[in-house]
C-alpha cells in the first residue's frame, strides 16, 4: 500500500491460529525505547490485521551479499543495539498499544528451563518426519525423540542459559534476515527490527547467539570473536560490565541449548552438525558439556 509520503504493508495473522497482541505489545516497547520498529498505522485485533510501516527490502543479509565490505559495520551496529536494549529492564507485562489506548496487557514469558524443554519437544514434530531413515518405524522415531529430549534436559542442567537472574528483553529472532538497513536514519534508528512477537525475558547471551551463530548465513569465527569483544566492551561502557569468563561459557552453550526449538534448530542441525542425528548418544552429553564449560578466548 502506498501514499505520497509513506508506504505500508498489511500483516495478516488470522485468529485463532495467530494473535497480533504480542507483536503489538513488543512493538510499542521497542518504539518507546527509540528503535526503528515499524510504525503501527491501524489494527484490527479481532480479524488479525495490522497495517504497518514498510521498512523496505534491505535486510542485512541482502545488503551484505551486495557489498561484503559492509558486514563488520552492520554486525557492529546490531551489537550496539543489543547493548542498548539490554539497558532497559523489561517488565513482566507490556501494554497492548492501539493508538493512544493502552488497552489490555501481554505477559512476557520468562525463558526458563521449562519453556526451553517444551520447545525442544517440538523438534521431533518437525525434524523427524522429514529426515528420519525410511526404514525407521514410528515407535523407533518416538524412542529417538525421547532420548534426544533427555539429552537436552541433561545439557540444560549444565548451562546458565536458562537461569537468567537479571533477565533482559530477548527478541529471539535477532538475525541478519530480520534486521533492516535504514542508512538514511541516524544512530540506532539505522537498524529496522522485525519478527519480535515471540519475545521473552531471558539471558542476555541469547540474542547475541542468534546474531552470530546464525543458521541461515555463515559468520566467520574471526568476526564472531570481534563482535563478542565489541559486545563486552559496549556493555562495560554502558555501565553494565559483564563477567567475561562466565558470559563466554553461557554464550558457548547457548548455541545448541538456546536454539533447539523447531524454528532455529532445524536449520542449525542441517548447517552446523551435518552428521546424522540418529547416531546421537546420551554419552555425548558429557563431552559436549565439557566443551561448553570451557571458556574460549575472545
The per-residue pLDDT for 298 is 44
Q: Which of 34-38, 45-49, 55-59, 120-124 has the lowest mean pLDDT?
A: 120-124
Q: Are the beta carbons of 109 and 116 closer than 8 angstroms?
A: no
Residue 132 confidence class, pLDDT cut points 50, 70, 90: confident
The per-residue pLDDT for 101 is 53
The whole-number average pLDDT for the span 39-50 is 94
pTM metric for this prediction: 0.81
Return the H-helix or E-strand segment holding 188. none
Q: Which residues contact 227 (CB under 8 A, 6 or more apart)?
A: 75, 76, 79, 208, 211, 212, 219
Pairing of strands 40-44, 49-53: antiparallel
Of all residues in the chain, what percent are helix, strand and coil, respectively (each to 5)? Answer: 50, 15, 40
Tell me how far apart the alpha carbons of residues 298 and 296 are, in angstroms, rounded to a whole number.
6
Tell me how far apart the alpha carbons of residues 156 and 192 are, in angstroms, rounded to a whole number.
32
Q: Which three cell numbers stand for residue 66?
A: 551486495
Residue 28 confidence class, pLDDT cut points 50, 70, 90: very high
Alpha-carbon distance values, 246 to 165, 251, 259 (Å): 13, 9, 19
Q: Is the pLDDT of residue 290 over 70?
A: no
The per-residue pLDDT for 282 is 33
Q: Is the pLDDT of residue 279 over 80?
A: no
Supply the Cα-derived Rg of the chain in whole angstroms: 20
Q: How many CB atoms lie within 10 A of CB 45?
A: 17
Q: Is the pLDDT of residue 274 over 50?
A: no
Pairing of strands 168-170, 200-202: antiparallel
Q: Are the beta carbons of 216 and 179 closer than 8 angstroms?
A: no
DSSP structural state of residue 132: S
Tell me how far apart the alpha carbons of residues 96 and 46 are, in angstroms, rounded to a whole number.
13
DSSP structural state of residue 101: B
Most confident of 60-64, 153-157, 257-261: 60-64
Q: Which three cell numbers stand for residue 47?
A: 480479524
| Higher per-residue pLDDT: 153 or 180 | 180
Amino acid at each position: 500500500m502506498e501514499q505520497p509520503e509513506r508506504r505500508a504493508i498489511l500483516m495478516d495473522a488470522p485468529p485463532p491460529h495467530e494473535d497480533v497482541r504480542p507483536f503489538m505489545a513488543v512493538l510499542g516497547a521497542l518504539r518507546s525505547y527509540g528503535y526503528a520498529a515499524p510504525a503501527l498505522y491501524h489494527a484490527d485485533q479481532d480479524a488479525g490485521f495490522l497495517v504497518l510501516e514498510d521498512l523496505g527490502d534491505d535486510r542485512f543479509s541482502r545488503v551484505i551479499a551486495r557489498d561484503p565490505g559492509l558486514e563488520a559495520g552492520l554486525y557492529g551496529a546490531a551489537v550496539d543495539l543489543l547493548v542498548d536494549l539490554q539497558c532497559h529492564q523489561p517488565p513482566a507485562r507490556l501494554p497492548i498499544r492501539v493508538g493512544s489506548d493502552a488497552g489490555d496487557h501481554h505477559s512476557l514469558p520468562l525463558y526458563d528451563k521449562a519453556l526451553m524443554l517444551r520447545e525442544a519437544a517440538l523438534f521431533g514434530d518437525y525434524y523427524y518426519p522429514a529426515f528420519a531413515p525410511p526404514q525407521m518405524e514410528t515407535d523407533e522415531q518416538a524412542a529417538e525423540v525421547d532420548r534426544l529430549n533427555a539429552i537436552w534436559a541433561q545439557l540444560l542442567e549444565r548451562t546458565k542459559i536458562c537461569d537468567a537472574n537479571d533477565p533482559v528483553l530477548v527478541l529471539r529472532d535477532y538475525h541478519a534476515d530480520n534486521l533492516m538497513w535504514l542508512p538514511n536514519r541516524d544512530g540506532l534508528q539505522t537498524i529496522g527490527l522485525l519478527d519480535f512477537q515471540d519475545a521473552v525475558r531471558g539471558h542476555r547471551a541469547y540474542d547475541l547467539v542468534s546474531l552470530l551463530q546464525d543458521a541461515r548465513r555463515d559468520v566467520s569465527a574471526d568476526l564472531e570473536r570481534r563482535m563478542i569483544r565489541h559486545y563486552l566492551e559496549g556493555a562495560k561502557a554502558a555501565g553494565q560490565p559483564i563477567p567475561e569468563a562466565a558470559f563466554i561459557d553461557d554464550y558457548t552453550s547457548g548455541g545448541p541449548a538456546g536454539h533447539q526449538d523447531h524454528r532455529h534448530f532445524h536449520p542449525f542441525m542441517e548447517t552446523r552438525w551435518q552428521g546424522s542425528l540418529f547416531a546421537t548418544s546420551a554419552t555425548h552429553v558429557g563431552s559436549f558439556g565439557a566443551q561448553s564449560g570451557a571458556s574460549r578466548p575472545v
